[in-house]
Amino acid sequence: MECTIKWLDGMSFIAETGTGHIVAMDGAPEAGGRNLAPRPMELMLAGAGGCTAFDVVLILKRGRQDVRGCSVRLEAERADTDPKVFTHIRFIYTVTGHKLKRETVERAIHLSAEKYCSASIMLAKTAQISHELELVELD
């Protein structure tokens, strides 16, 4: 895996991934940025959320569960001093579907957190991680 970061101007950067996708990043105005794009740490948090959501949906689909929606809200706290690593991250899942069993969805979340989601497992080296689930039954 590879990624190339190019400085544009001010504190704006473009990342080009090894698969050819482009992601913009920018800093806060107080740091010389123009607030035109997410901060790098926001993208790291988004990556962990995307990674676990991908896992949960895949696990449920492979288990022939009638999953219709999955969202993950992440709430993170960072250290006050440099390096300002994440210290606490709360993953709040909302999973919707037909006749989903709480235990099955919780197992999918657990498998993601403990085995499959490289991003959140890596972040767990510095941050205390917690998971919450809201299960929504569709009519």
pLDDT digits (tens, 9 = 90+) for 53-106: 999 999 999 999 999 999 999 999 999 999 999 999 999 999 999 999 999 999
Q: Tell me the C-alpha distance between 38 and 40, whole Å.
A: 6
Instruction: Report the 10 Å Cβ neighbour count for 101.
Output: 11
Q: Which CATH number fits domain 1-38: 1.10.645.10, 2.20.25.10, 3.40.50.1820, 2.30.40.10?
A: 2.20.25.10
pTM of the entire predicted model: 0.93
pLDDT at 12 over 90: yes
Kindly provide the b/e burial profile for residues 70-81, where b requires at least 16 CB atoms within 10 angstroms of the residue's own CB.
bebebebebeee
Which pLDDT does position 139 carry in this prediction? 81
Tell me what the mean pLDDT of segment 107-127 comes to.
97
Fold of 40-137: GMP Synthetase; Chain A, domain 3 (3.30.300)
